[in-house]
Amino acid sequence: MSRFLIISNRLPVQINISEDNVEVTPSVGGLATGMSSVTKLFKSRWIGSSGLDKSLLSAQQIKKVNLALKKHACMDVNLTREEVELYYEGFSNKTIWPLFHYFSQFVEYEEEQWQAYKRVNQKFADVIAENMEGVDKIWVHDYHLLLLPKLIKEKFPNVTIGFFLHIPFPSYELFRILPWRTEIIEGMLGADLLGFHTFDYERHFMSSVRRLLGYDINIDEINTPKRIVKVDNFPMGIDYNKFNDAALESQRRSVRDRSEVRKELERYYLLYPETKFILSIDRLDYSKGLINRLEAFEYFLQEYSQYRDKVTLVLLAVPSRIGVDQYQQMKSEVDEVVGRINGEYSTINRSPIWYFYRSMPFENLVDLYNYCEIALITPIRDGMNLVAKEYIASKTDGRGVLILSEMAGAAKEMSEALIVNPNDKAQIADAIKQAIEMPLEEQIERNTVLQNRLKRYNVEKWATDFLNTLDNVRQDEQKYLAKRLTASSKNKILKEFEGSNNRIFFLDYDGTLTGFVDNPQHARPDKELYELLDKLAENPKNRVVLISGRDKGTFDEWFGNKPYTLIVEHGVWYRHIGSSWKMIEPLDDSWKDSIRSALEFYVDRTPGSFIEEKNYSLVWHYRKSDPELGHNRAIELKDEMTSLVANLNLEILEGNKVIEIKNQGINKGQAALKVLHAQPADKILAIGDDWTDEFLFSYLPEEAVTIKVGMAKTVADYKVENYEEVRSLLQKLTDVEV
Ligand code: GDG
């Protein structure tokens, strides 16, 4: 059985210590529930902080805590008071939390807190390292541990790492503000699978990767220099049955056994049968939009005076992060606004807001969900918002209206709710009115759709979906690892080539023999490369063929007097050693004028891009353009060209930050076959990095050894990481005995 680690800032347990007695009970939060279903499948262990300040405990108590945690398969990461202050309250909650929720005015940029954040992420990595025996899979959670995936990967490259972010990932324009943005993105990219609640967060993350690191992105995969990282969205669900069953159970209880909250609501309802309860539940956090919500409610009371004595707002604000200044300020602000509204609109018998600043036991929470006719959930930003889902799950008779902010991740899946802009008081007030007046059939109709969806995609499904995707990524990784050119496969190739008297090497140029540079003109061969190729070519048993998308002129200039065969323009021209350029097949170039003018339009609208003209093709380069603009324009260009090129018998080749338009049926594979046909070889080696090289790999006879540079998918036999590895292999081949 494989072993699995779950990592989060806090362990999913409550610890009670009284003198010599230590009691550890599992907590019941969404994440813990979701995980419990998957932890049954694997031998797993949870690593996180217990939240205890161990400096206040005796050695005996610490021992007991650790033992009790072990029984619950938990491992404590021991944080000092100072670390909690700087890493948790500090960098996590005063830098990342406000920034990722678009509250840039609250963001602190403290080097000391950043250093503590790095230190604590390392501390987590160290505890993980001590617990790695038999572990092949790790799932890291949330914004406190953004650097952890990379720290684990560096030490344990073969372990598969998933990371899930529970809060929004902001747009690049916000994220770029952060002085430590690159380290954070690189930290996250240590994972093999990155999960977000919504496609928007995923999209924002991709955009930051593209802009900060320039990596190529293929739909939902990022090609980093070493690995492919998969990115996807997994909207977190809830334990639907738990809420639905608890609500049914509460209704079945005799009046005497009901919770105080329920009794109080029912009593009030008997007195004022026209009352509609509007429920608001969240942690007291600025991202949850409490002030806006209260002001919208105030506006509603002003505008729709006919409902003033018919609505009660039940406001449950759960204390949170009380050590952070903004949270204390917010508490005073909420107190003040609630006081103002109640002061203005209360009568002798009733006040419009019932305000609770505390957390409630689960049963009471479900009673509130079940009993209140309307839920008003209007965060300014929220990764997902589980309260909205729990409310709907607790509506056992299908009645009730959810008013939900469009800024909550949950809004993407809950379009049957009344969706509002949390900053638009008038719209919220109208939605409250609409909710009060909504016919029961409509409520049931909307909620049935919502409930069916929540039942299906519950937290268990969420967790298993994520882990199944992680397993698939692992299998892909294994496939990749199987293709990785190892020392032993290298030796095998060398041995095979040693025995041959007639060897040929088809070598792509850019990205294969040299690295990429911004301007293709600057990618001249260096001295080391000339020496390497010369040495390879000087052996009479070897033939060196450079096969590239470049133009004749450039290759003439760089390799004109060299003893290599040259194939350029992706197989349009070839030149044998000492002879002149010949066309592989006669071609027509009369199409160029019409295509050129279309491409010029893209150059005008895409700063930094330019056209390269080859004899039988036109190339639009966008490596120096804004990465996202370039990417989008490339998609547009391909779209626009599709029908045009088909009519002119042309084709579009997409390379690394280039789009090339050329005559159909010409490719590196066909050109290589011509060369082989004219003069066969018994050992063939082909190396390339681009997808245009895939033609080469697939056209060559089966016995050819083919090598892909980079991590992208390939039909080649082997993969190497970069051009340096190619050079080192060629170096070894020059030493093969004559
Ligand atoms: C973060 C993201 C994302 C609340 N009051 C009481 C209580 N709760 C429980 C609710 C719910 C949970 O706390 C709150 O979850 P949310 O999703 O609404 O919000 P965050 O705490 O901010 O969570 C959020 C989430 O992570 C998951 O990825 O959805 O966007 O910010 O489950 O039931 N539970 C009890 N008493 C209370 O008074 N027992």
Of 198, 356, 386, 413, the one to substitute when testing ligand 1's pocket (max ligand atoms within 8 A of C-beta) is: 386
Query: So what's the pLDDT on residue 29?
Result: 62
- What are the CB-based long-range contacts (under 8 Å, 24+) for 440-443? 440/399, 443/398, 443/399, 443/400, 443/401
Q: What is the pLDDT of residues 232-253, one digit of tens each?
A: 999 999 999 999 999 999 989 9
Instruction: Report how far apart, in Å, the C-alpha atoms of 250 and of each of 235, 254, 261, 271, 365 are.
Output: 29, 9, 11, 22, 11
Q: What would be the CATH architecture of the domain defined by 3-13+26-51+74-233?
A: 3-Layer(aba) Sandwich (3.40)
pLDDT of residue 410: 97
Indicate which atom in ligand 1 lies nearest the CA of residue 28. 39
Q: Domain 240-456 has what CATH class?
A: alpha beta
CA distances (Å), 402 to each of 279, 366, 407, 688, in order?
Answer: 9, 15, 14, 56
What contacts 170, CB < 8 A, 6 or more positions away?
Answer: 99, 100, 101, 102, 204
| CA 387 – ligand 1 centroid, Å | 6
Question: Which two tokens mark 172?
Answer: 């690049």
Q: Nearest 5 degrees, angle CA 292-CA 392-CA 365?
A: 75
Question: How does pLDDT run across 200-217, given as a tens digit for each residue?
Answer: 999 999 999 999 998 888
Element (H, E) at 716: none
List 508, 510, 689, 693, catalytic entry: 508
Q: With beta carbons less than 8 A apart as the criterion, state whether 644 and 635 touch.
A: no
d(CA 630, CA 607): 9
Q: Which helix (H) or strand (E) holds 99?
A: helix 97-100
Q: Which 8-state DSSP code applies to residue 522?
A: G
pLDDT lower than 70: segments of the chain: 1, 28-30, 33-34, 37, 40-41, 518-520, 737-738
Prediction pTM value:
0.85
pLDDT at residue 28, as a whole number:
64
Q: Which residues contact 184 (CB under 8 A, 6 or more apart)?
A: 146, 147, 178
CA of 379, closest atom in ligand 1: 30
User: Ligand 1 in contact with 283 (CB < 6 A)?
Assistant: yes
Query: Where are the domains positioned within the chain?
Result: 3-13+26-51+74-233, 240-456, 484-585+666-734, 592-663
Please tell me if the CB atom of residue 365 comes closer than 6 angstroms to any atom of ligand 1. Answer: yes
Is residue 528 within 8 Å of 723, Cβ to Cβ?
no
> Measuring CA to CA, which residue among 256, 100, 263, 270 is closest to residue 177?
100
**CATH superfamily to which 592-663 belongs:** Trehalose-6-phosphate phosphatase related protein; domain 2 (3.30.70.1020)
Q: How far is the CA of 385 from the centre of ligand 1 (A)?
A: 7
E-assigned strands of 104-260?
135-141, 160-164, 193-196, 216-218, 221-223, 228-233
Give the list of residues 6+ apart from residue 251 with CB closer than 8 angstroms, or none: 370, 396
Q: Do domains 240-456 and 484-585+666-734 have the same CATH topology?
A: yes
d(CA 482, CA 719): 9
CATH tag for 484-585+666-734 (out of 3.30.429.10, 3.40.50.1000, 3.40.50.720, 3.90.1010.10): 3.40.50.1000
**Direct distance between the N- and C-terminal alpha carbons of the chain, in angstroms, rounded to an integer:** 52
Q: Which two tokens stand for residue 251?
A: 């209704």
From 385, 413, 454, the mutation candidate for ligand 1 (largest count of ligand atoms within 8 A of CB) is: 385
Are β-strands 565-568 and 573-575 bridged in parallel, bridged antiparallel, or unpaired?
antiparallel
Predicted local distance difference test score (pLDDT) of residue 104: 95
pLDDT for the residue 41: 65
Does 465 participate in catalysis according to the annotation?
no
